[in-house]
Amino acid sequence: MYKAAESRRSLLMSVVNWGEAYYAIWRAHGEKAANTKLQEAAPLPIELVDVDAQLARLAASLKAQHNLPYADCFAAALAQSKKAILVTSDKDFGLLGGAFKALWL
């Protein structure tokens, strides 16, 4: 991600996944840590993408077909709809098989 910041390449993230990340940090380390992480991420070229009916439908389709956790389906749906590479370290995305280009961290 830091290379993306240096090159000013855009990183896409659905608001659902942003909320999931914020929640996970808060749950594990508290509200202050979650807010600190938000501030640290602010310089990164992350474009938050709102969820519309089309993206929600695609996420629901992925859930039905692959039984991926629902919030993860939004990341996969966004990558699919934008023909982007899904960047993840989440092993759950292995459920998608080779259906998506993925960069595994």
pLDDT bin (cut points 50, 70, 90) of residue 104 is confident
> Looking at the whole model, is its pTM more than 0.75?
yes
Range of 62's domain?
2-104
User: 101 pLDDT exceeds 70?
Assistant: yes
User: What is the number of structural domains in the chain?
Assistant: 1
CATH number at residue 29: 3.40.50.1010
Q: How far is CA 7 from CA 10, 55, 83, 88, in A?
A: 9, 28, 20, 20
For residue 25, count CB atoms less than 10 angstroms from its CB and return exposed for 0-12, middle for 13-18, buried for 19 or more.
middle
pLDDT recorded at residue 5: 54
